[in-house]
Structure 1
Amino acid sequence: MTATRHWRYSLKARFVFSGLLLIVVLLPAIGFTVNKAFERQIALAIENQLNAYMYSVLAVTEVDEGDINMPPHLVENQFNVIGSGLYALVSDQQHRIVWSSGSFFGIKTPILQQPTVGQSQFYRIKIDKTKHVVFSFTVSFAHNKQLIPMTIHIIKDESDYQLQADEFNRTLWSWIGVLMLVLVAIQTVWLAWTLKPLRLFSDEITQVEQGKLTELNQQYPNELNILAKQLNALLHTEQQQRNRYRNALSDLAHSLKTPLAVIKSQPELNQDSHEQLDHINHIIGYQLKKAQSVAANAWHLGVNVDDIATKLVRTLSKIYYDSHKDIDYQLIQHNNQAAIFKGDSTDLSEMIGNLLDNACKAAKYQVLLHIETTLDALHIIVEDDGPGLTEIQQTSIFERGARADTYQQGHGIGLAIVSDLVNSYQGKLNVSKSHHLGGAKFSLTFTL
Structure 2
Amino acid sequence: MLAAALILALFSVSAGWILRESFQASILDRAREQLKLQMFGLIATVDYEAGQLVIPDTLADPRFNQLNSGLLATILHQGKPVWKSRSVLVEVFPDPPLSEPGQWIFRQVQDQSGKNYYQLSISVYWEEDSAATPYTFVVREWDQPYVAQIKSFENTLWVWLGGLVVAAIVLVFGLLNLGFRPFRRLASELNGVEQGRQQRIDRVYPQEVMPVVNNLNRLVEHERSMRERYKNSLGDLAHSLKTPLAVLKGLELESPQTWAQQAQTLRDQVLRMDEIVNYQLKRAISAVPQVSGQGAVLLDMYERMSKVLTKVHSDKTIQFEQDIRSGLRMPWDDGDTLEVLGNLMDNACKYGGHRVRVSGRIQGGQIRVAVEDDGPGIKDGDEDRILRRGVRRDERETGQGIGLAVVADIVSASAGTLTIERSSLGGACFLIRLPLNW
Deviation, 1:57, is: 0.8
**Equivalent in the alignment of 2:48:** 63
CA distance in 1 between counterparts of 2:218 and 2:119 reads 82
The equivalent position to 1:168 in structure 2, one of 153, 156, 159, is 153
**Equivalent in the alignment of 2:254:** 268
**Equivalent in the alignment of 2:110:** 126
Deviation, 1:247, is: 3.3
**Equivalent in the alignment of 2:405:** none
2:30 is aligned with 1:45: yes
CA distance in 1 between counterparts of 2:184 and 2:256 reads 67
> Structure 2 vs 1, CA of residues 116 and 293 (structure 1 numbering), >3 Å: closer, same or farther?
same
2:90 is aligned with 1:117: no
> Structure 2 vs 1, CA of residues 97 and 242 (structure 1 numbering), >3 Å: closer, same or farther?
same
Q: Deviations over 1:83-120 (max 9, x none)?
A: 2111111111x111110111113333542223211111
**Equivalent in the alignment of 2:194:** 209
2:104 is aligned with 1:97: no
Query: Which amino acid in 2 is paired with 1:37?
Result: S
Query: Which amino acid in 2 is paired with 1:47?
Result: R
CA distance in 1 between counterparts of 2:30 and 2:46 reads 25
- Contact in 2 for aligned 1:90/1:100 (Cα 8 Å): yes
> Structure 2 vs 1, CA of residues 82 and 248 (structure 1 numbering), >3 Å: closer, same or farther?
closer
> Structure 2 vs 1, CA of residues 133 and 106 (structure 1 numbering), >3 Å: closer, same or farther?
same
CA distance in 1 between counterparts of 2:135 and 2:65 reads 21
The structure with more helix, counted as a fraction of residues: 1
CA distance in 1 between counterparts of 2:236 and 2:178 reads 52
> Structure 2 vs 1, CA of residues 203 and 124 (structure 1 numbering), >3 Å: closer, same or farther?
same
The equivalent position to 2:209 in structure 1, one of 218, 224, 249, is 224
Report the secondary structure of 1:102's partner residue.
Answer: coil
Q: What is the correspondence of 1:338-357 to structure 2 with a 5 Å cutoff? A: none
CA distance in 2 between counterparts of 1:252 and 1:108 reads 109
Report the secondary structure of 2:162's partner residue.
Answer: helix
CA distance in 2 between counterparts of 1:122 and 1:63 reads 26
- The alignment's TM-score, normalised by the length of structure 2, stands at 0.56
The equivalent position to 1:247 in structure 2, one of 216, 220, 232, is 232
- Structure 1: tracts of 5 or more residues without a match: 1-14, 299-448
Q: Deviations over 1:394-429 (max 9, x none)?
A: xxxxxxxxxxxxxxxxxxxxxxxxxxxxxxxxxxxx
Query: Which amino acid in 1 is paired with 2:97?
Result: Q
- Contact in 2 for aligned 1:246/1:292 (Cα 8 Å): no
**Equivalent in the alignment of 1:87:** 72
Query: Which amino acid in 2 is paired with 1:268?
Result: E
- Contact in 2 for aligned 1:79/1:101 (Cα 8 Å): yes
CA distance in 2 between counterparts of 1:236 and 1:108 reads 91
The equivalent position to 1:36 in structure 2, one of 10, 17, 21, is 21
Query: Which amino acid in 1 is paired with 2:90?
Result: G
Query: Which amino acid in 2 is paired with 1:71?
Result: P
**Number of aligned pairs?**
280
Report the secondary structure of 1:136's partner residue.
Answer: strand
- Contact in 1 for aligned 2:230/2:284 (Cα 8 Å): no
2:12 is aligned with 1:27: yes
**Equivalent in the alignment of 1:423:** none
- The alignment's TM-score, normalised by the length of structure 1, stands at 0.55
Q: Deviations over 1:369-399 (max 9, x none)?
A: xxxxxxxxxxxxxxxxxxxxxxxxxxxxxxx
CA RMSD, 1 decimal: 3.6
**Equivalent in the alignment of 1:177:** 162
CA distance in 2 between counterparts of 1:130 and 1:191 reads 52
CA distance in 2 between counterparts of 1:177 and 1:33 reads 15
CA distance in 1 between counterparts of 2:109 and 2:229 reads 94
Q: What is the correspondence of 1:406-425 to structure 2 with a 5 Å cutoff? A: none
CA distance in 2 between counterparts of 1:83 and 1:239 reads 91
Taking only the aligned residue pairs, the percentage that are identical comes to: 27
The equivalent position to 2:171 in structure 1, one of 149, 165, 186, is 186
Query: Which amino acid in 2 is paired with 1:99?
Result: W
Please tell me whether Structure 1 or Structure 2 has the larger radius of gyration of its CA atoms.
2
Query: Which amino acid in 2 is paired with 1:97?
Result: P
